[in-house]
């Protein structure tokens, strides 16, 4: 098993613009696919959108004329349009293996393999697997091999309290911390170190209870990294109802932003709101696991979305300046819901 990424390496990644992975660096960006509908020049903005009716059924028969796009409140001309894009798909599974996920890890593992088996086209698509608890670990780099991905999924396991405590001790000179969950660090590293180098359609699937108490970055940093990498994040909320609060224990139950023994229960962040925010601001979807909606059910919905996206493109205003530009995608037809990213970073 690969060595985890230390907190010191995360700080280096933020300061120098790179992270030190515990194995060979992720594969370099491939040549643009032959079927890519338009240039990847920074002045061209590509937006993938999913449209559903009031009942949640995906709408598949829209045309370019049915859509409107605004950038920072200014209408844009849609120059590129495609339905059910055949572009290569890069998928990243980012799985919480902290102690609070102990009773759901098996169903996450089995459902994830079924999902990759059904979605991954070995001649076009690639996927990778990251897990996180007190540290972030890349279990499988980008690959089209279902066999390699299955082997990596078989390594998924919730660390014992002793392992989490050891991982949470940090680097020399850093404050000692018991256990923890580094959700935001995991999203940032997946986006900056892998997704940013890829072209085509990109999506992270984040499986967690949404609680972070060990990251060196904020949720806003994590979201911004996914936006800069043009990556949608599909968040799947799983909470173990039988898990008891652990004051300062592994998994972060009962702890606030930084955790700590004796921290009041009311300081525990709202994992659902965090997961909803990450999905909304990156153009992904939010799902909540339950007895009525199993992991298999959720993955079927995500697969349906990824296979029924509209690809919209327009030429951005070169005089609009750098920084974050807000996008609003709408459909003229009433009674539908459009799911697309909120914006992008110009001159990235």
Average pLDDT over residues 70-90: 90
The count of residues in the chain is: 348
Angle in degrees, CA 229, 235, 241, rounded to 5: 150
Q: 3-state DSSP helix/strand/coil percent for the chain, to nearest 5?
A: 30, 25, 45
Whether residue 23 is predicted with pLDDT greater than 60 in this model: the reply is no
Q: What would the pLDDT profile of 112-136 be if each residue is shown by its tens digit?
A: 999 999 999 988 999 999 999 999 9
**What average pLDDT does the structure give for the chain?**
79
Residue 173 is classified by DSSP as T
* Domain 88-306, CATH homologous superfamily name and number: von Willebrand factor, type A domain (3.40.50.410)
In whole angstroms, give the CA distance from residue 23 to residue 27.
11
Rounded-to-integer distance, Cα 302 and Cα 286, Å: 10
Calpha distance 115→183 (Å, rounded): 22
pLDDT in tens, 256-303: 333 433 344 445 568 999 999 999 999 999 999 887 888 889 999 999
Distance separating alpha carbons of residues 209 and 251, to the nearest angstrom: 10
In percent, how much of the chain has pLDDT > 70? 72
Asked if 262 and 269 touch (Cβ cutoff 8 Å), the reply is: no
- Contact call for residues 279 and 339 (beta carbons, < 8 A): no
DSSP secondary structure code for residue 13 in this structure: H
Q: Which helix (H) or strand (E) holds 191?
A: helix 183-193
Query: pLDDT value at position 240?
Result: 62
Tell me: pLDDT of 335 over 50.
yes
Lowest average pLDDT, out of 36-45, 159-168, 253-262, goes to 253-262
Instruction: State how far the Cα of 246 lies from the Cα of 68, in Å rounded to an integer.
Output: 49
The average pLDDT across 218-224 equals: 97
Pairwise CA distance, residues 337 & 316, whole Å: 24
Q: Which pLDDT does position 320 carry in this prediction?
A: 67
| Predicted pLDDT at 255 | 32
Residue 158: pLDDT band with limits 50, 70, 90: confident
Mean pLDDT in residue range 217-240 = 93
Cα 297 to Cα 295: distance, rounded to the nearest angstrom: 5
pLDDT of residue 150: 94
Give the pLDDT of residue 105. 87
Residue 162 has pLDDT above 90, yes or no: no
- pLDDT bracket for residue 318 (50, 70, 90): confident
Q: What is the pLDDT of residue 93?
A: 97
Q: Is the pLDDT of residue 13 over 70?
A: no
What 11-19 contacts at long range (C-beta under 8 Å, 24+ apart), as own/partner pairs, is: 11/216, 13/188, 13/189, 13/192, 13/193, 14/216, 14/217, 18/192, 18/193, 19/189, 19/192, 19/193
> Could you tell me the pTM of the whole model?
0.78
For the segment 6-16, the average pLDDT, to the nearest whole number, is 45
- How does pLDDT run across 92-111, given as a tens digit for each residue? 999 999 887 888 888 889 89
Question: CB-based contacts of 169: which residues, under 8 Å, 6+ apart?
Answer: 176, 177
């Amino acid at each position: 098993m690969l060595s985890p990424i230390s907190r010191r390496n995360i700080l280096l990644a933020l300061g120098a613009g790179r992270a030190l992975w515990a194995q060979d660096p992720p594969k370099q960006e491939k040549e643009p696919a032959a079927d890519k509908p338009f240039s990847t020049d920074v002045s061209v903005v590509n937006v993938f959108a999913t449209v559903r009716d009031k009942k949640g059924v995906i709408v598949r028969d829209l045309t370019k004329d049915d859509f409107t796009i605004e950038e920072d409140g200014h209408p844009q001309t849609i120059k590129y349009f495609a339905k059910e894009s055949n572009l290569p798909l890069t998928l990243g599974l980012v799985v919480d293996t902290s102690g609070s996920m102990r009773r759901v890890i098996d169903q996450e593992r089995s459902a994830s393999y079924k999902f990759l088996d059904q979605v991954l086209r070995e001649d076009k698509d690639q996927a990778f697997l990251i897990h996180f608890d007190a540290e972030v670990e890349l279990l499988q780099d980008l690959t089209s091999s279902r066999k390699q991905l299955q082997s990596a999924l078989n390594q998924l396991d919730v660390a014992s309290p002793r392992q989490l405590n050891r991982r949470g001790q940090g680097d020399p000179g850093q404050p000692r911390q018991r256990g923890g969950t580094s959700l935001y660090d995991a999203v940032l590293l997946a986006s900056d170190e892998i997704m940013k180098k890829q072209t085509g359609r990109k999506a992270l699937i984040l499986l967690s209870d949404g609680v972070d108490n060990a990251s060196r970055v904020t949720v806003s940093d994590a979201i911004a990294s996914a936006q800069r990498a043009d990556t949608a994040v599909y968040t799947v909320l799983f909470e173990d109802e039988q898990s008891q609060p652990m004051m300062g224990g592994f998994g972060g139950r009962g702890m606030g932003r930084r955790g700590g023994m004796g921290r009041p229960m009311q300081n525990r962040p709202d994992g659902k709101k965090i997961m909803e925010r990450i999905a909304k601001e990156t153009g992904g979807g939010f799902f909540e696991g339950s007895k009525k909606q199993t992991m298999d059910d959720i993955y079927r919905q995500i697969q349906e979305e990824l296979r029924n996206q509209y690809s919209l493109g327009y030429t951005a205003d070169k005089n609009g300046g750098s920084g974050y530009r807000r996008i609003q995608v709408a459909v003229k037809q009433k009674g539908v819901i459009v799911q697309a990213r909120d914006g992008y970073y110009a001159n990235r």
